[in-house]
């Protein structure tokens, strides 16, 4: 008897590539009845994948219209490696698919934003470093604290039309340099981000001390050199948005 994991893999291969991939003697009954059952199951799986894409990219679907979105979705599901993904992660490459198949910039960036939002929603649980956590700490000890980006935190620059569309719901977003997504207290938060906040969060993808994080953004060879006050304001804004966590 096949192990459960191998059985699942074999079933998915048969659904995606045809009955030749179905192990012999897996089901009882005639070949015709087995194939009929597989067709019903294949239709159910296909529908679930299409629905998962609709649920992942509701704004993109609304912008493109149901027909074009459905056509893109069906073509996307034919791409190698896509159908092997879990439903929650099946849309990861969909923004790239739109870019490769003639999607307009707004649709591509809307899909990028919606995927980042979903990543923030599903990110691993982790305590985020609060500004209040740093209160009363000696300045020398403060700069030695190591931080990294929170698993749910990301920032991205999008087409102006995307920021304007999302900005209807988030004050200040339409004119922001970037969009910051975080998940403090279990709820995804969309926040306007300055260039300094974007740069600091990028620098914190790997563990770094607060001192090095601040100093690095003020160095002469830094691409977007910032004055100390600007760096500190950006760091405070990231802390307040729940974008950083302390590294033990």
- Say which residues have a Cβ less than 8 Å from residue 76's Cβ, sequence separation at least 6: 53, 82, 93, 94, 97
pLDDT at 192 over 90: yes
Q: Report the mean per-residue pLDDT for the chain.
A: 83
Q: What is the pLDDT of residue 20?
A: 60
Distance CA 57, CA 101 (A): 17
Read off the tokens for 38. Answer: 């597989």
pLDDT range class, residue 12, cuts 50, 70, 90? low
pLDDT digits (tens, 9 = 90+) for 142-189: 999 999 999 999 999 999 889 888 888 888 898 899 999 999 988 999
What does the domain layout of the chain look like in residue ranges? Answer: 4-122, 131-246
Q: How far is CA 55 from the centre of its chain?
A: 14
pLDDT digits (tens, 9 = 90+) for 62-106: 999 999 999 999 999 988 888 878 888 999 999 999 999 988 899
pLDDT at 193 over 60: yes
pLDDT range class, residue 1, cuts 50, 70, 90? very low
Closest CA to 179 of 195, 124, 187: 195
């Amino acid at each position: 008897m096949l192990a459960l994991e191998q059985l699942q893999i074999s079933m998915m291969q048969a659904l995606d590539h045809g009955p030749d991939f179905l192990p012999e003697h897996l089901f009882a009954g005639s070949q015709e009845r087995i194939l009929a059952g597989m067709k019903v199951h294949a239709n159910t799986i296909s529908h679930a994948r299409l629905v998962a894409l609709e649920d992942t990219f509701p704004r993109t679907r609304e912008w493109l219209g149901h027909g074009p979105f459905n056509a893109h979705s069906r073509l996307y599901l034919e791409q190698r490696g896509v159908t092997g993904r879990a439903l929650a992660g099946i849309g990861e490459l969909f923004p790239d698919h739109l870019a490769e198949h003639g999607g307009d910039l707004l649709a591509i960036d809307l899909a990028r934003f919606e995927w980042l939002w979903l990543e923030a929603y599903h990110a691993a649980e982790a305590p985020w470093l609060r500004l209040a956590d740093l209160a009363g700490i000696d300045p020398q000890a403060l700069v030695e604290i190591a931080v990294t980006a929170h698993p749910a935190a990301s920032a991205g620059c999008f087409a102006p039309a995307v920021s304007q569309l999302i900005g209807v719901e988030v004050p200040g977003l339409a004119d922001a340099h970037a969009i910051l997504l975080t998940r403090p207290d279990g709820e995804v938060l969309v926040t306007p981000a300055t260039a300094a906040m974007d740069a600091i969060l990028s620098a914190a993808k790997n563990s770094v001390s607060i001192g090095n994080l601040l100093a690095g953004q003020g160095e002469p060879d830094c691409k977007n050199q910032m004055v100390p006050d600007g760096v500190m304001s950006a760091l405070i804004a990231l802390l307040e948005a729940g974008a950083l966590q302390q590294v033990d």
